[in-house]
């Protein structure tokens, strides 16, 4: 196996022996998170909607000596979320890290949101992470694992996106869920935290938005939009053994985007 530690660093990867399930990991932020955790020694379970995408990512990770397997799931369906949790644990034998990365938004005025659209978005963004956290927590408790559950929110839960009332409110619920789960699991050495991406310019489908991102970067205090690697670095921090004293936290990864008040 190739050395996956940084050049000149003789330490062993910090997640060796751990298994991580990353949802929505066949592209974008999730794919980068999976590779980041894998480079620290974790065995990865890829998850996405399409088998071809899952197979492609398993093969790509193998080329950089990251062991991975994969499962498909449509997380808008609760039964599929339950099945993913059960199959991931059965396939891997142990689950140390759950990254609830998968999410989606259907934009439009809130008064035009149908019941079906509401359910689709809430199931994907809030209910599925809840269900998968249940499966992970039961497994971790049963086997005495010092596990890590890492959820994903959005800066829209703090500043709000236009025409995204369902998405933003579902992600705000994920932050509340994170605090409650963290409180319940803390005495067992299991941490639960949340990463909140701000404007991320290399997300899937954003190529046509480059002029828009240039405009947005003018409102980001650090002077640029974020990358998937910026988000993955925050996920890695929450996954590491060294972060065992950090739980119930929701960390904005937004270059200061949500911080400023309007100019007076």
* 168-203 tens-digit pLDDT: 999 999 999 999 999 999 999 999 999 999 989 876
pTM higher than 0.95: no
Q: What is the pLDDT of residue 264?
A: 52
CA distance 177 to 154: 14
Q: Report the distance separating Cα 92 and Cα 42, nearest Å.
A: 12
Which of 71-80, 89-98, 148-157, 201-210 bottoms out in mean pLDDT, i.e. has the lowest? 201-210
Predicted confidence at residue 217, as pLDDT, reads: 83
For 223-232, what is the mean pLDDT?
94
pLDDT surpassing 50 at residue 119: yes
Share of the chain above pLDDT 70, in %: 89
From the list 120, 126, 167, 257, the catalytic residue is: 167
* Average pLDDT of the segment spanning 235-255: 97
Cα–Cα distances (Å) from 17 to 23, 129, 209, 257, in that order, read 20, 24, 40, 37
For residue 44, the tally of other CB atoms under 10 A from its CB is 28
pLDDT for position 6: 44
CA distance 112 to 152: 26
Mean pLDDT of the chain: 91
Give the whole-number percent of the chain exceeding pLDDT 90.
78
Quick one: pLDDT at residue 202?
Answer: 75
Mean pLDDT of 136-157: 96
Q: Going from the N-terminus, what domains does the chain have, and what CATH number goes with each?
A: 19-253 (3.40.50.720)
**C-alpha distances out from residue 71 to 21, 76, 99, Å:** 10, 15, 14
> Quick one: pLDDT at residue 170?
96
- Position 204 scores a pLDDT of 54
Is residue 167 annotated as part of the catalytic site, yes or no?
yes
What are the pLDDT digits (tens) for 92-115? 999 999 999 999 989 999 999 999
């Amino acid at each position: 196996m190739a050395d996956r530690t940084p050049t000149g660093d003789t330490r062993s990867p910090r997640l060796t022996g751990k298994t991580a399930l990353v949802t929505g990991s066949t592209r974008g932020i999730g794919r980068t998170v999976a590779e980041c955790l894998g480079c620290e020694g974790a065995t990865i379970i890829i998850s996405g909607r399409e088998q071809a995408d899952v197979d492609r990512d398993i093969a790509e990770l193998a080329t950089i000596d990251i062991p991975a397997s994969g499962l498909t799931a449509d997380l808008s369906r609760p039964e599929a979320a339950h099945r993913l949790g059960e199959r991931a644990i059965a396939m891997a034998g142990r689950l140390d890290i759950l990254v609830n990365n998968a999410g989606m938004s259907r934009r439009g005025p809130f008064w035009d949101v149908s019941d079906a659209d509401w359910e689709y978005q809430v199931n994907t963004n809030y209910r599925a992470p809840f269900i998968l956290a249940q499966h992970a927590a039961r497994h971790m408790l049963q086997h005495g694992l010092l596990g890590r559950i890492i959820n994903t929110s959005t800066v829209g839960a703090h500043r709000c996106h236009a025409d995204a009332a369902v998405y933003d409110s579902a992600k705000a619920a994920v932050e509340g869920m994170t605090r409650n789960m963290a409180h319940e699991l803390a005495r067992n050495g299991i941490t639960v935290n949340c990463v909140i991406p701000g404007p991320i310019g290399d997300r899937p489908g954003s190529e046509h938005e480059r002029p828009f991102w240039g405009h947005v970067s003018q409102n980001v205090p650090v002077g640029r939009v974020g990358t998937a690697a910026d988000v993955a670095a925050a996920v890695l921090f929450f996954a590491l053994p060294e972060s065992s004293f950090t739980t119930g936290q929701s960390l904005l990864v937004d270059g200061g985007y949500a911080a400023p008040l309007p100019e007076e």
